A and B are shown apart, each in its own frame.
Chain A
Amino acid sequence: MGYVWLIPVLPLLSFLIILFTRPVIYKKAGIVGTLFSGAAFVGSLIVLFSHFQEGNYLVEANWLSIDAITLTVGFEVNPLNALMLVIVTLVSFLVHMYSIGYMEDDERIATFFAYLGLFTFSMTALVMSPNLLQIYFFWELVGVCSFLLVGFYFYKPEAKAAAKKAFIVTRIGDVGLLVAIFLLYWQAGTLELDGIFSAAESGAITPTMITIIAILIFVGAVGKSGQFPLHTWLPDAMEGPTPVSALIHAATMVAAGVYLVAVMFPLFLASEAAMTTVAITGGVTAIFAATIALVQNDIKRILAYSTISQLGYMMLALGTAGYTAAVFHLTTHAFFKALLFLAAGSVIHAAHEQNILKLGGLGKKLKGTALLFLLGSLALSGFPLFSGFFSKDEILASAFSDERYILFGLALFTAFLTSFYMFRLYFLVFAGEGKGGAKESPRTMLIPMAVLAVLAVFSGFIQTHWFGTFLGDWLETTPYPVIFSSVEAPLWIPILASALSIGGIALAWLMYVKQSVPHNWLYGSIKEVHQVLDRKYYIDEIYQGVFVKGLFVFSYFWSYFDRFIVEGTAAAMRGVVTQLGKTGVKVQSGQVQTYGAVAFSGLVIVLLVIAALGGYFQ
């Protein structure tokens, strides 16, 4: 596995080649990018299979040494890494291919593919990093790629604002991670993962310190994975082109927060407080975002809130010691959410409309897209035997067996909400009578979706208590001290979850197809609740009013302080000097002369010093 480093290098090459040949390569950039990301995917598959045979692999080298401080670089293959590599490169490859069709008419198509390459490079490098500094390094780089792609339509004011917001809000989280790194370095004496874990195990780090560090790391994860209260950037990030939403803001980068907690899991396991924080944040985020998704009308924003909610599920799993459950859901979610975004992109591409209230009846015109979207929705809703069913079941079982019953209840209810909002979306867009014309997307767009659909349907079977817990068994070969809690869920949990899932679908059908239940009952009955959900709990308004305004007021205060107090004092002193110059030297006004004055007074002081000290000598 000595050639693992080629996997990130391939997309990096794609980035550089396209960047430097942009005007020449133009639309062929799509083919170049697809080939390179496809090669990276093949490489990841090879790595995956070699891992099955050869086990874990780790290589490290010195990056920077200063006295006793040594910082290393390297790359690592363990079950989690290998799995992430496959997910990232596969989705990246499919999104590259899809974008050839989707971005066809954009004159900046080459720039787009260059950015995609840079992102794939950063993301694959991130998941191969064996130390925290390197993780942080690429953590920031994927953030920049996200920023660049969210702001791809730079001339749109919304895109500009969204890009800025995405960068700054995630950076608030990143600073938490950075502080954790500083603290860890001085506590553990290294940033390499194995060193950190052995230091934690040996008791070299105090329990309080472990809790502080773990929570700070989690702050970083909260920012990246759009968890409450740092979630506000993710829905706005939908201003980016839709393939980007599928790749970065659904399948890969936003899952990096979950990945980070999974990587640092031994540290979290050592702190009950940190685990509780993760569990509660995850559980609350899951239901919080799901309730907002109920009343949104923008197809991409609904999916974005759904992503936040599902990432909350994963965090809940981690917080309740369900390592396998979290990684499992991360995997299935990557497939079905990428599928849903790409299918949504196909709708937008065909109908040039994102508002689901203005769409409708597309099932007849976009047969392929409709079917694919349906499969994705079923998987996300946890419909029995679809992938999301199995992974969500694992999470519910994990929360239940960890005796967090309130969070378990919230998660169950969220499952119901999820299938309801997804099928509200599905029925509004695809059922009923058509409104306006639409043409099915080209094959380069449909094929990637079909591949994802197959995975969205079947990938659940890698981890079931009926056929075998292949994923869990394999993850246990991790080189790090992760404790695996293998819990057999009581049978009533999957049955209840299935019932809730089907119930949600049924309710949506009654409301939006059969229309026997009035679909505006919430708006009609409790207007205030609808209002609060529609405005997303007013969180953006609160942040705007408190933090942004606060920052402006504070900054203006210091700016005026600088202008009037600091400069005023300086001006007063300048006046004194000028007066001294005028009265003392009696030269004409002018700068050079003043310089002379200053130099002269300097000389006087020098002489005085010499005189004073010279006297001391004698």
Chain B
Amino acid sequence: MTESYLLTLLVFSPLLGIILLCFMSPKHHSIKWIGTLSTLLPLLLTIIVFSLFERGIEGVQLQQSHTWFELMTSISPNEPYIISFELGVTGLSVLFLFLTALITFLASFTAHRMKDGLKGFFIIFLALELGILGVFSSENLFLFFLFFEITLVSTFLLLGRWGGFHKERAAFSFLIYNGIGSVLLLVVIITLFVELRTTNITELTLMLKDTDSLEYLSYDARMWLLVLLVVAFGTKLPIVPLHSWMVRVHVEAPIAVVMIHAGVLLKIGAYGLIRFGGGFFPEQLQDMAVVLAILGLINLLYGAFIAFVQTELRALLAYSSISHMGIVLLGLASFNSAGVQGAIFQTISHGLIAALLFLLIGVIVDRFGTTRLDELGGVASQTPLFAGFFLAAGLASLGLPGMSGFISEFLAFLGVFKAMPVIGAIGVIGIILTAVYILRAVLAVTFGERRPSFDRKADLTATELVSSSVLLIMIIWIGVYPAILTSTLGTIGIGG
């Protein structure tokens, strides 16, 4: 069956481009197009995966499994620890795979503007995509971890080599935080492996549900493991106060990388929390729901307040992301189907919206040479198309009905109001604040008096127009017809 190798094919499809690029001269003029074409292949494959994925069926699909290696230990010589190469997708990961491939493809175009080191850039860029695709298709924790590390190394290299003025500091900061996060993750994985002798995700979920497993892992031990998971994935999400690295990445990384970073990479945090935190330790997660909700509330408001006084667009959007991820936490913490679905909707919706916003910020950087709000303004006169898209993206971000952000926030808050009405009532302040800071930012760029220095700046090119339209259409599509997501997601069993 070819089908069963489909995921392997998908995950390693960026390798083709990597190999091709390795053999090309760095000066070759077609490098950028080879790079972009290489991201088209995974996109086509995810579309196939998406179409083969059967909706409305519970559990993991398109599975494949091979024993990878065995560990003999002196502890139990007769029973080797087996680590398998296992891939598979759920409704949640299928959506993330598609999001990854789409955003990477669109982001590759923005990299065409880069001047130096395109060959190296695209090689690492494709490695990053490989890592993310792997993360979302892994059915085994070791494999997950491996791919997760690939994303770390490649982001680090992309940031440190092609970043902005303070790239070294940003890369260093990224490394410290994410390094610590992955160590914690590894501790959890190793513990589970040692105790339950498997790292298969579905098996682990089932075993941990079984009451017999309490023999191996006490309630307290599980709680500790969950706390480690929350810190590990919370760094990625990020949860305040573990966020300063992420603001730096937003500000310093090349636009193509920020698109992927804000669009998909950060979502690994939410994915991990839902898949592992909620999957393995539902009981413990429910018991710490109030803590999660308060953390979410802090994220939501803290990010919004600070975003309000930012004077630089990228930093502003970084804090905006922090604020929006607060809604993910709130939805998860509500522990009912509305809230959890809202959280998932929000991760996908925010992925699309953040990618669109940063794509447009790429245009700002290219045309106007600055992302400082006080140096921008009035560009609607010269670049009306850009201004229209930027405004639309802003409206999507502030949760306008008819766009994906609204239904996400609506469901998340609906869930919160059932579980914790007081926290919900405080949280809705965030909805007002979002409007305040988003409008401030968008209007500061597009509205206002015409600036003669911006005359003769080109409006969106055809590529930019198509890229932005694709993202905007998907945002509106989800906003108008959200059942498109629920049919793929099925029921996410978190907390039952």
Residues of A within 8 A of B (CB): 62-69, 133, 136-138, 140-141, 144, 151, 154-155, 157, 159-160, 163-164, 167-168, 171-172, 175, 178-179, 182-183, 185-186, 551-552, 554-556, 558-559, 562, 566-567, 569-570, 573-574, 577, 591, 594-595, 598-599, 601-602, 605-606, 609-610, 613-614, 617-618
Contact = CB atoms under 8 A, between A and B. Distances in A.
B136 interface: no
A558 B447 CA distance: 28
Given A66-B337, A555-B308, A574 B176 contact: yes
A140 to B, nearest CB: 5
B220 to A, nearest CB: 15
Given A566-B244, A567-B244, A558 B428 contact: no
Nearest to B322: A562
Pairs of residues from A and B, 5 with the lowest C-beta to C-beta distance, nearest first: A598-B179, A602-B183, A182-B417, A67-B337, A137-B401
Residue among A66, A136, A160, A605 with max Cβ neighbours from chain B (10 Å): A66
B302 A558 contact: yes
B183 A598 contact: yes
Given A64-B407, A175-B432, A601 B414 contact: no
B465 interface: no
Residue among A136, A601, A617 with max Cβ neighbours from chain B (10 Å): A617
A157 B75 contact: no
A609 B224 CA distance: 14
A160 B448 contact: yes
Contact of B337 (A69, A154, A595, A601): A69
B112 to A, nearest CB: 27
A605 B183 contact: yes
A133 B73 CA distance: 60
A178 B380 contact: no
Interface stretch (B126-134, B190-198, B365-373): B190-198
Contacts of B173: 570, 574
Contacts of A164: 439-440, 443
A13 to B, nearest CB: 16
7 contacts: A66-B486, A164-B440, A178-B410, A186-B417, A552-B308, A591-B172, A618-B75
Contacts of B168: 591
B227 interface: no
B194 A141 contact: no
A172 to B, nearest CB: 6
Contacts of A178: 410, 413, 428, 431
Residue among B309, B432, B491 with max Cβ neighbours from chain A (10 Å): B309
A138 B337 CA distance: 25
A66 B448 contact: no
Contacts of A556: 309
B179 A64 contact: no
Contact of A613 (B191, B240, B308, B450): B191
A576 B395 CA distance: 43
A66 B179 contact: no
A52 B191 CA distance: 73
Given A140-B400, A552-B309, A613-B194, A171 B172 contact: no
Contacts of B186: 602, 605-606
Contacts of B400: 140-141, 144
Interface in B224-255: 240-241, 243-245
A140 B410 CA distance: 13
A602 B182 contact: yes
A350 B306 CA distance: 48
Contacts of A598: 175-176, 179-180, 183
Instruction: Describe A's contact surface by its main secondary structure.
Output: helix
A229 to B, nearest CB: 15
Nearest to A182: B417
Residue among A182, A183, A556, A614 with max Cβ neighbours from chain B (10 Å): A182
Contacts of B172: 574, 591, 594
A171 B244 contact: no
Instruction: Describe B's contact surface by its main secondary structure.
Output: helix
B435 A182 contact: no
Contact of B425 (A159, A163, A179, A559): A179
Contacts of A138: 401
Given A179-B425, A591-B156, 13 more contacts: A64-B483, A64-B486, A133-B410, A154-B446, A155-B378, A155-B447, A155-B448, A164-B443, A179-B417, A566-B240, A591-B168, A602-B179, A605-B187
Contacts of B243: 566
A168 B338 contact: no
A160 B436 contact: no
Nearest to B448: A160
B373 to A, nearest CB: 13
A215 to B, nearest CB: 14
Given A140-B401, A609-B187, A617 B428 contact: no
A66 B338 contact: yes
A160 B309 CA distance: 18
Contacts of A591: 156, 160, 168, 171-172, 175
Given A175-B432, A179-B425, A595 B179 contact: yes
B491 A67 contact: yes
A292 to B, nearest CB: 26
Interface in B123-181: 153, 156, 160, 168, 171-173, 175-177, 179-180
Given A63-B483, A618-B75, A155 B381 contact: yes
A577 to B, nearest CB: 6
Given A64-B483, A68-B337, A160 B395 contact: no
B35 interface: no
Contact of B191 (A66, A172, A609): A609
A613 B195 contact: yes
A172 B443 contact: no
B404 interface: no
B55 interface: no
B418 interface: yes
A183 B446 CA distance: 38
A354 to B, nearest CB: 21
Contacts of A566: 240-241, 243-244
B411 interface: yes
Contact of A606 (B190, B195, B302): B190
B443 A609 contact: no
Interface in B339-393: 341, 378, 380-381
B495 interface: no
B449 interface: yes
A163 B444 CA distance: 12
Interface string B248-273: 00000000000000000000000000
A65 B413 CA distance: 16
A149 to B, nearest CB: 13
A182 B413 contact: yes
B447 A154 contact: yes
Residue among B180, B183, B401, B424 with max Cβ neighbours from chain A (10 Å): B401
A595 B156 CA distance: 10
Nearest to B337: A67
A610 B191 CA distance: 7
B120 interface: no
B302 A154 contact: no
B405 to A, nearest CB: 11
A555 B303 CA distance: 10
Given A163-B443, A168-B436, A598-B183, A175 B244 contact: no
A559 B73 CA distance: 52
A167 B432 CA distance: 10
B76 interface: yes
A577 B306 contact: no
Interface string B306-318: 1011100000000
Interface string B76-117: 100000000000000000000000000000000000000000
A486 to B, nearest CB: 38
Residue among A555, A556, A567 with max Cβ neighbours from chain B (10 Å): A555
B401 A558 contact: no
A178 B424 CA distance: 11
Nearest to B395: A144
